[in-house]
Amino acid sequence: MTTGRRRAILFATCIVDQLYPTVGLAAAELLEQQGIDVDVPSDLLCCGQMAFNAGFRDDAYAVAGRTLEVLRGKGDVVMPSGSCAAMIRHLYHELFAHTPFAGMAAELAHRTYELSEYLVDGLGVTDVGARFNGRITYHDACHGLRFLGVGKQARALLSRVQGAEVVPLPGCDQCCGFGGLFAIKQHTISTAMLDRKIEAIASTEADLVVTGDVSCMTQIAGGLSRRNIPTRARHLAEVLANMVDAR
Amino acid sequence: MPQTIAFYDRVDHALHDSSLQTALHRATSRFIGNRASAISALGDADRLRDQARAIRAHALAHLDELLPQLAANVEARGGHVCWASDGEEARQYIIELAHARGVRSIVKSKSMASEEIHLNEALEAAGFEVIETDLGEYIIQLAGETPSHIIAPAIHKTREQVSELFQQHLGMPPTTEVPLMIRTARQALRQRFLQADMGISGVNFGVADSGAIVIVENEGNARLSTTVPRIHVAIMGIERIVARLADLGVMLQVLARSATGQKLSVYTSLISGPARPGEEDGPEEFHLVLLDNGRSQILGGQYAESLLCIRCGACLNACPVYQAIGGHAYGSVYSGPIGAILTPLLQPDLPDAHLLPQASSLCGACQEVCPVRIAIPDMLLRHRADAVKAGKVNPVEKVAIAGYTLTMTHPAIYNAGGKAGRFFSRILARKGHFRRLPPPLHLWTKQRDFPALPPKSFRELWAERKNQRRSSS
Ligand code: SF4
């Protein structure tokens, strides 16, 4: 990480940009609170994961290659998504192997962080002055958990949210069934997995189920509302930046 | 399972089969719990797993020396070795041997390699009587099915279903008490062991430096199958080798703990050839079938890591997809995460083989539990890339990805697309959700809502905020 007056790129990801702008704003606010100058390049769009996961490597190469160019020579890159950060950190290596981009990809991987990891491991903060009066449970999104080792950071941050009762989620590290196009192509399996997740969430009677990935959040929120379960799904950043109403 | 039913039909069938769901849930949760406590009891599980991986990687890297060494040691002790390049050669060797020795009845202990080459059907067609002696295998043989799990072949059956089978085939009185059921099976099997002329087994590890094969089990049936009949045939995939006897200390520990959560399996047999002169126990003849069947093609390629597998089954238990659909839905010999890697390689003619790597959310639970840390998700992704290269793609998906790529490489199109999406969202979404979306997204909204698009994108809001700050400062 760079020293002095810190700057960071907030790579909000395409899903946050289009579906969850408050998550992007919340992430920006959390970084600014810590004295970081936040930059959001206007032409930074997507990490390419959707194409890569579907096996379309040429397409992924085009999307991710462009992203590499946009991020070239910039400082730390922070993402409110474990999955997209894992794409850059873990999978760009294979995508760009034996290409002229290999070196750039490796360099980018070294300065890309998932948000909670950046806050806790990078900046050393856990208390960000958040308040929430209610019960919170946490779902470990798979890619952040297994490919970046993210989870303890989020829990540390949540434990400092004033007024919140944080309760464990049974099977917290079980996949919610999202999996990108899997959620559509294999929708019956995907929703069978979701059913189990919803059952576990309902059993906690939490006001919020918090996670670090908006894709999982979309899956879980979609399941909760369709089944009329009052628990709301929110991104960790929204809770930490006090952007969730108590209701 | 007939291969004519498409993968998706099998999946739907499995998801709606309530007995299967009960059986899977009971068994996989038990396996997961047992494994977790056995692994955490180790204290230093990570190091042990690293060692296990190193041992296996070393063996694969030196296969060209270790296999001849194993074969030479087996032969030096009076055993015979068959190098079978495919299933046909293996089947032929075993059938010819059985004919030549006047074999009539054969007992088998669990062997996935024999499943892979469809040995039972071939032996039966050649007129031999074949009985599976592992309890799970015996159950599915009675039911006329194939294994649905590498180490728990009848995992898809509830106790109640097994009871019915035993009542029907073995005349057992109605009961679901496990000890009684086991006793019934044991009585039925005992006679078979004594009658059998040939025992066929699998191999957990072949040990190159000592010429021994290792079989682990919990029922004692493998020990009987390999010692009572006068001929023992062991079938071993060529990758299932370790260099040294000393390697077993690590391998047996990680295998038992990962597979069943035991410290060690109840029986660990080291077999090194037929009974020697003066020895009372053991077969007169020992044959080791070294089965390639596509494995040497995998070596050195982008799926080589899959050959590290020690068939512990942990990745199946941990896999949320396997937990939901069970093994038969895959339609392949090997199911679950490792099956999705191996099937397109070992059974390329299976029409649905390329779909198996698609049936994963890439959650990584498999890699997390794998005792030799196989990077299963990475290889699933490679299979998907291979499928695209081979043109095995759904046309709708192809169009969708083309649209995605165009959008994500052109900010102007991206922005216009976002505006259009928000426009439609204002018209069609209700109370913050879409309850229904047009095809192909209707597959999402069948059982899930989709969030309405917000009035402005993050980057629009960000730009506004920046302008405000600039004008206020
Ligand atoms: S891939 Fe790993 S976890 Fe799965 S069966 Fe093989 S060794 Fe066990």
**CB < 8 Å to A39, chain B:** none
3-state SS assignment for residue A7: strand
Q: Is residue A12 part of a domain?
A: yes
SS3 B241: strand
A143 and A84 fall within a common domain = no
Closest residue CA from atom 3 of ligand 1: B370
Given A66, A100, A121, which residue is the final one in a domain?
A: A121
**Cβ within 8 Å, pair A59-B401:** yes
**How close is the nearest chain A Cα to the Cα of B301, in Å?**
14
Write the pLDDT tens digit of every residue in B35-70.
999 999 988 899 999 999 999 999 999 999 999 999
Residue A24 lies in a domain: yes
pLDDT at res. B52: 98
Any domain includes A199: yes
Q: Is A168 left (phi over 0), alpha (psi -120 to 50) or beta?
A: beta
Parallel, antiparallel, or unpaired: how do β-strands A131-138 and B129-132 relate?
unpaired
Distance CA B250, CA B350 (A): 36
Ligand 1 probe mutation, B308, B315, B366, most atoms within 8 A of CB: B315
**Using the beta-carbon criterion (under 8 Å), do B15 and A189 form an inter-chain contact?**
yes
- Specify whether A182 is located in the same domain as A229: yes
Arithmetic mean of pLDDT, B141-160: 95
In this prediction, residue B280 carries a pLDDT of 81
Length of chain B: 473
CA dist B166 and A215 (Å) reads 48
What is the B312 CA–ligand 1 centroid distance (Å)?
5
Regarding whether A155 and A116 lie in a shared domain, the answer is: no
Same domain for A37 and A115, yes or no, is: yes
Angle, CA of B124, B128 and B131, to the nearest 5° = 80
Is residue A139 domain-resident?
A: yes
Q: Rounded to whole angstroms, how far apart are CA atoms B294 and B85?
A: 8
- Give chain B's mean pLDDT: 95
CATH 3.40.50.10420 for the B46-296 domain, yes or no: yes
For residue B291, the cross-strand partners are B84, B237
Q: Which range, B276-280, B305-309, B464-468, is most confident?
A: B305-309
Return the ∠ at Cα B443 (arms to B437 and B447), rounded to 5°: 90
CB B451 within 8 A of CB A222: yes
In a domain, A246, yes or no: no
- Asked if A135 and A123 touch (Cβ cutoff 8 Å), the reply is no
Which residues on B lie below 8 Å from A24 (Cβ)? 458-459, 461-462
Q: Are B286 and B80 in contact (CB under 8 A)?
A: yes
Which residues, judged by CB distance below 6 Å to any ligand atom, belong to the binding site of ligand 1? B 258, 309-315, 338, 369-372, 374
Band (B4; pLDDT cuts 50, 70, 90): very low
Q: Do A17 and B418 touch (CB under 8 A)?
A: yes
Long-range pairs of B460-469 with CB within 8 A, sequence gap ≥ 24? B460/A21, B461/A21, B461/A24, B461/A25, B462/A24, B462/A25, B462/A28, B462/A40, B463/A42, B465/A25
Nearest CA of chain B to the CA of A42: how many Å?
7
Q: What is the pLDDT of residue B278?
A: 85
Q: What is the pLDDT of residue B471?
A: 84
Judge whether B340 is closer than 8 Å to chain A, CB to CB: no
Q: What is the pTM for the complete model shown?
A: 0.95
Residue A146 lies in a domain: yes
- Selected residue of B17, B361, B414 to mutate for chain A interface (largest A Cβ count, 10 A): B361
| Residue appearing with tokens 């997995």 | A193
Written as six digits, the tokens of A40 are 């959001």
Question: Three-state DSSP class for A133?
Answer: strand
DSSP H helical segments within chain A, as ranges? 14-19, 21-33, 49-54, 57-71, 82-86, 92-95, 102-110, 115-117, 142-143, 152-159, 182-185, 187-204, 214-226, 236-240
Q: HSE of A60 in the Cβ direction (CA atoms, 13 Å)?
A: 23
> A104 with A167, same domain?
no
Chain A residues within 8 A of B406 when measuring between CB atoms: none
Q: Are residues A71 and A144 in the same domain?
A: no
Q: How much is the ipTM here?
A: 0.96
Q: Which residues pair with B233 in a beta bridge?
A: B200, B287
Helix, strand, coil in percent for chain B, rounding step 5 = 55, 10, 35
* Banded model confidence at residue B279, pLDDT cuts 50, 70, 90: confident
Q: Are B226 and B250 in contact (CB under 8 A)?
A: no
User: What is the per-residue pLDDT across B241-278, written as a single tens digit (0 to 9) for each?
Assistant: 999 999 999 999 999 999 999 999 999 999 988 998 88
Full residue range of the structural domain in which residue A10 is found: 6-121
Span(s) in chain B for CATH 3.40.50.10420: 46-296
Q: What is residue B457's predicted lDDT score, i.e. its pLDDT?
A: 97
Which atom of ligand 1 is nearest to B312's Cα? 8
> Which of B397, B401, B459 lies at the smallest CB-CB distance from A40?
B459
Of A121, A146, A177, the last residue of a domain is A121
Number of domains in chain A: 2
CB A179 within 8 A of CB A190: yes
User: Do residue A78 and residue A47 come from a single domain?
Assistant: yes
Question: A163 vs A133, A201, B404, CA distance in Å?
Answer: 5, 20, 42
Which of A59, A145, A225 comes nearest B449 by C-beta? A225
The CA-based angle B425-A115-A112, given to 5 degrees, is 105
- The pLDDT assigned to B1 comes to 40
Q: Verify that A192 and A146 share a domain, yes or no.
A: yes
Q: Are A7 and A39 in contact (CB under 8 A)?
A: yes
With beta carbons under 8 A apart, name residues in chain B contacting A181: 397
Could you give the CA distance from residue A153 to residue A151 in angstroms, rounded to a whole number?
5
Contacts of B378 (CB under 8 A, 6+ apart): A91, A94
Taking the CB of residue A167, how many other CB atoms lie within 10 A of it?
Answer: 14
Structure tokens at B101: 């020795």
Alpha-carbon span B228 to B270, nearest angstrom: 15
- Taking the C-alpha atoms of residue A223 and residue A234, their distance in angstroms, rounded to an integer, is 13
User: pLDDT tens across B125-150, in order?
Assistant: 999 999 999 999 999 999 999 999 99
Structural domain ending residue among the three candidates A92, A121, A150: A121
- Write down the pLDDT at residue B281: 82
Give me the tens of pLDDT residue by residue for chain A, a chain 247 residues long: 545 578 999 999 999 999 999 999 999 999 999 999 999 999 999 999 999 999 999 999 999 999 999 999 999 999 999 999 999 999 999 999 999 999 999 999 999 999 999 999 999 999 999 999 999 999 999 999 999 999 999 999 999 999 999 999 999 999 999 999 999 999 999 999 999 999 999 999 999 999 999 999 999 999 999 999 999 999 999 999 999 987 6
A201 located within any domain:
yes
Please, are residues B225 and B200 in contact by the beta-carbon 8 Å criterion? yes
CATH of the domain at A164: 3.40.50
A49 SS3 class? helix
Nearest Cα residue to atom 2 of ligand 1: B370
> Pick from B325, B393, B401: which is nearest to A189 by CB?
B325
Mean pLDDT of B29-35: 94
Judge if A143 and A234 occupy the same domain: yes
Out of A54, A173, A226, the one facing B447 most closely (by C-beta) is A226
Encoding tokens for residue A69? 């160019």
User: Which pLDDT score is estimated for B3?
Assistant: 42
Residues 6+ apart with CB under 8 A from A31: A8, A10, A38, A78, A118
Q: What local confidence, expressed as pLDDT, does residue B313 receive?
A: 97
Residues 380-419 of B with CB under 8 A from A: 381, 383-388, 393-394, 397, 401-402, 404-405, 407-409, 411, 414, 418
B455-to-A20, A198, B412, B436, B463 alpha-carbon distances in Å: 10, 28, 18, 20, 14
For residue B76, the Cα-to-chain-centroid distance in whole angstroms is 34
Selected residues 78-107 of chain B with any CB under 8 Å from a CB in chain A: none
